[in-house]
Structure 1
Amino acid sequence: MVGMFIGEHTFKVDGKGRVSIPADFRRELELGDPLASETGRPRMVIVYGPEKQQHLTVYTYEGYKALAGDIARLPRGSQKRKIMERMILNRARPTEVDNDGRLVLPQMLRDKIGLENTAYFAGLGETFEIWKPEVHEAQDEALDDRIFEEFGEDFDPLSLLDDLEG
């Protein structure tokens, strides 16, 4: 199942690290956890990744299990598998939505990305990211600059789908 985390949202983070999860994201998390209908508290996995990563990547429970399965299919002892195990499996934290539809971000995760009073949620289809808003804005502007430098000012992102043809 391909997720549909789309759009952007900004929410306040309280002193205990609680932040509301966008309602449409909560629905996707529910669809991605077979126990959610019983518990009412969908599970998810937050990957905080390498030291220099400036955001958190959030997977549905089933999406993360599928990713872990893909990693397990890599040859044992291979460099790719070791990197993926270290950056994706080891640097992850399972959690769940609380009864009020919020996510509690531990201090360690907030410190890692410099999150203070506000969290920016970026939907990316199968996953979503959580950023400090100012950091995301700077990264997004830099990406736009690189894209337009490479493809030109009249670049149409849909043109990248041309690679799927043929």
Structure 2
Amino acid sequence: MFIGEHTFKVDGKGRVSIPADFRRELEEGDPLASQSGRPRMVIVYGHDAQKQLQVYTYNDYRALAAEIAQMPRGSKQRKIMQSLILNKARPTEVDGDGRLVLPQALRDKIGLEGTAYFGGMGETFEIWKPDVFEANTASVTDTWLDEQGEDFDPLSLLNDLEG
């Protein structure tokens, strides 16, 4: 599971260290990683308005692609998922120094320069330009939390799963 948050420098060639605990998850999510020492992953960059890169382990991305393949052929939902998840994705691998090399086009898409924010999201992690992440969190999460009241417990949302 990808959890926690990290910020790392991005060099001029787009190389950025991957958090050590994230690398271990990537290794576990790639059956060939033990042989190659370079776990594979898939970066989904999605639609034009998407402000972050979403990173899947190799196995989790394959499972997601299989779920999309189970959707009715020709359906609008399947076409959208294929476009945003399968078409707007880039397979890559960890380099020999434990880094990810982000191509210029992906860095440009999210405005990444200087530093990258890594946010664990459970089965995936996201890469953001740090100030964009902060602004997004403030505008979405903080506003929603303010509406819930001072004594709101986020774990109460899990109660919806019981019924």
- TM-score, length of structure 1 as denominator length: 0.96
Instruction: Tell whether 2:39 aligns with 1:8.
Output: no
CA distance in 2, matches of 1:145, 1:122: 17
1:40 — aligned with what?
37
Deviations 1:125-153 (A, max 9, x none): 00000000000000111123332243222
Alignment counterpart, residue 103 of structure 2, candidates 106, 115, 119: 106
Instruction: Tell whether 2:36 aligns with 1:21.
Output: no
CA distance in 1, matches of 2:141, 2:73: 38
Identity fraction in percent: 75
SS at 1:50's partner residue?
Answer: coil
Deviations 1:13-54 (A, max 9, x none): 000000000000000000000000000000000000000000
Alignment counterpart, residue 120 of structure 1, candidates 117, 124, 146: 117
Alignment counterpart, residue 160 of structure 1, candidates 147, 151, 157: 157
Instruction: Tell whether 2:86 aligns with 1:58.
Output: no
SS at 1:9's partner residue?
Answer: strand
1:133 — aligned with what?
130
| Contiguous gaps of at least 5 residues in structure 1 | none
CA distance in 2, matches of 1:117, 1:158: 35
| Contiguous gaps of at least 5 residues in structure 2 | none
Aligned partner of 2:28: which letter?
A: L
SS at 2:7's partner residue?
Answer: strand
Over aligned residue pairs, what C-alpha RMSD do you find?
0.8
CA distance in 2, matches of 1:134, 1:106: 20
- TM-score, length of structure 2 as denominator length: 0.98
